[in-house]
């Protein structure tokens, strides 16, 4: 067993390369070092003919991975360093590596899967969720944006469900995650060890998983799908809110309340990211997201969102601008401007 750094474990078990996210007290939130370690070992295992598949799981009973190390990025914002942008660059490069991985990549998820946790699972070939899954992309609530390739995979969710998740940051369970294409299998966490043993013995991923895959659970949002698709097809965030207000249902009223509490800048940026992402490849989405995220992570709203939600925990962020009307089209366009020498780049032969 190897440790690239104290919070992640790498082990070659027979024909399996096994990754364990090992920060259970922090819900296995990703650090910069964890991302670098994953990229290193995934690259090594690609070239190792003895490794037939890779699996990743999270330590502890509460979470697979709750996201990236937001506190560390907030410190970079406060101190005006390049650390946050460097972290995002390497995290997005890892997401691209996973998305193009030539061998089966099996994410054995359980409990909380959010933000960066989605980045190291949803891009993989096999995404196993258990009955306790709580999936979310909650970034608009801290003045950030759905990233880690979310403009790619959320924009490809059926109908307008991806935009619904991006703007609200709402949590969904396994039934909805499978209906939206975010998870591929329902496998209770109690069966993870058996799947790991089969993969270590060199069994094909599909065959190793099949005996433990349960039926899809009901999708809680199924009854709201037509409403979501009609409302979130609006041409702007303002249009979405207008349709929610006109709808008059309890679901629409609660959804509008949640969206109005989010950062106006984050909302408009998330909307534009998903609309653009529909016609882009995964790597193109990651490049686009890096342009926006490298700027947004150093902004006032991110600093304020982290303060209100994670530090002071008063739940009363003071967004600037404080309304959607205050966020101009030119402001959003600026987030998509090229970064010159600081652009996120992938090898010319990289798939994705």
- Segment 193-232, tens digit of pLDDT: 999 999 999 999 999 999 999 999 999 999 999 999 999 9
Cα gap 41→182, rounded to integer Å: 25
Neighbouring CB atoms inside 10 A of 173's CB total 18
Query: Mean pLDDT across the stretch 149-155?
Result: 98
Instruction: Give the structural domain span for 117.
Output: 2-332
Number of domains in the chain: 1
Query: Is the per-residue pLDDT at 268 higher than 80?
Result: yes
Q: Which residues are catalytic?
A: 68, 116, 139, 147
Confirm if 160 and 288 have CB atoms less than 8 A apart.
Answer: no
Closest C-alpha among 69, 57, 85 to residue 30: 69
Residue 342 belongs to some domain of the structure: no
Cα gap 185→168, rounded to integer Å: 25
Residue 158 belongs to some domain of the structure: yes
Query: Is the per-residue pLDDT at 185 higher than 90?
Result: yes
Residue 195 belongs to some domain of the structure: yes
Query: Is the per-residue pLDDT at 2 higher than 70?
Result: no
Residues 17-57 have pLDDT tens digits of 999 999 999 999 999 999 999 999 999 999 999 999 999 99
Which pLDDT score is estimated for 128?
Answer: 98
Residue 344 belongs to some domain of the structure: no
Q: What values do phi and psi take at 33, rounded to 5?
A: -65, -35
Neighbouring CB atoms inside 10 A of 226's CB total 10
Residue 346 belongs to some domain of the structure: no
Residue 220 is encoded by which pair of tokens? 């809680």
Which pLDDT score is estimated for 4?
Answer: 56
Which pLDDT score is estimated for 347?
Answer: 76
222 Cβ contact list (under 8 Å, min separation 6): 175, 179
Query: Is the per-residue pLDDT at 348 higher than 70?
Result: no
| Cis peptide upstream of residue 321 (ω within 30 degrees of 0) | yes
Cβ burial 239-254 (10 Å sphere, 16+ → b, else e): ebbebbeebeeebbee
Query: Mean pLDDT across the stretch 126-155?
Result: 98
Residue 305 belongs to some domain of the structure: yes
* pLDDT band at residue 177 under the 50/70/90 scheme: very high
Cα gap 240→242, rounded to integer Å: 5
Residues 79-106 have pLDDT tens digits of 999 999 999 999 999 999 999 999 999 9
Query: Mean pLDDT across the stretch 162-180?
Result: 98
Q: What values do phi and psi take at 148, rounded to 5?
A: 45, 40
Residues 116-131 have pLDDT tens digits of 999 999 999 999 999 9
CA dist 25 → 64, 167, 270, 341 (Å): 12, 28, 30, 38
Cα gap 228→215, rounded to integer Å: 25
Residue 144 belongs to some domain of the structure: yes
Residue 49 belongs to some domain of the structure: yes
Q: What is the CATH number of the domain that holds 271?
A: 3.90.226.10
Query: Mean pLDDT across the stretch 282-289?
Result: 98
Q: What does the mean pLDDT of the chain come to? A: 96
Residue 137 is encoded by which pair of tokens? 């992309």
Query: Is the per-residue pLDDT at 168 higher than 80?
Result: yes
């Amino acid at each position: 067993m190897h440790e690239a750094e104290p919070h992640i474990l790498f082990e070659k078990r027979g024909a399996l390369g096994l990754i364990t996210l090992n920060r259970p007290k922090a819900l296995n939130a990703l650090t910069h070092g964890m991302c670098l370690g994953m990229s290193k070992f995934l690259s090594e295992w690609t070239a190792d003919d003895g490794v037939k598949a890779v699996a990743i799981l999270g330590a502890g009973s509460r979470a697979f991975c709750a996201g990236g190390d937001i506190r560390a990025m907030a410190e970079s914002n406060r101190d005006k360093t390049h650390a946050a942008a460097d972290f995002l660059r390497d995290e997005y490069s890892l997401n691209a590596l996973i998305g193009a991985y030539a061998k089966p990549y099996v994410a054995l998820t359980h409990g909380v899967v959010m933000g960066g946790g989605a980045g190291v699972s949803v891009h993989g070939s096999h995404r196993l969720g258990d009955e306790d899954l709580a999936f979310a992309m909650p970034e608009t609530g801290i003045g950030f944006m759905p990233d880690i390739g979310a403009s790619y995979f959320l924009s490809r969710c059926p109908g307008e469900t991806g935009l619904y998740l991006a703007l609200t940051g709402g949590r969904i369970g396994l039934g909805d995650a499978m209906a939206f294409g975010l998870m591929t299998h329902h496998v209770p966490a109690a069966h993870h060890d058996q799947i790991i043993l089969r993969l270590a013995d060199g069994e094909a991923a599909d065959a190793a998983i099949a005996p433990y895959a349960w039926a899809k659970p009901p999708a809680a949002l199924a009854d709201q799908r037509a409403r979501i698709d009609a409302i979130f097809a609006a041409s702007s965030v303002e249009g979405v809110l207008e349709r929610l207000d006109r709808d008059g249902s309890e679901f629409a009223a609660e959804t509008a309340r949640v969206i109005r509490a989010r950062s106006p800048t984050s909302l408009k940026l998330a909307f534009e990211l998903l609309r653009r992402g529909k016609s882009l490849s995964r790597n193109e989405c990651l490049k686009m997201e890096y342009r926006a995220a490298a700027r947004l992570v150093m902004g006032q709203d991110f600093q304020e969102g982290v303060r209100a939600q994670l530090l002071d925990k008063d739940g009363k962020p003071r967004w600037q601008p404080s309304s959607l009307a205050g966020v101009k089209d030119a402001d959003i366009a600026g987030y998509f401007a090229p970064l010159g020498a600081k652009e996120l780049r992938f090898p010319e032969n990289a798939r994705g």
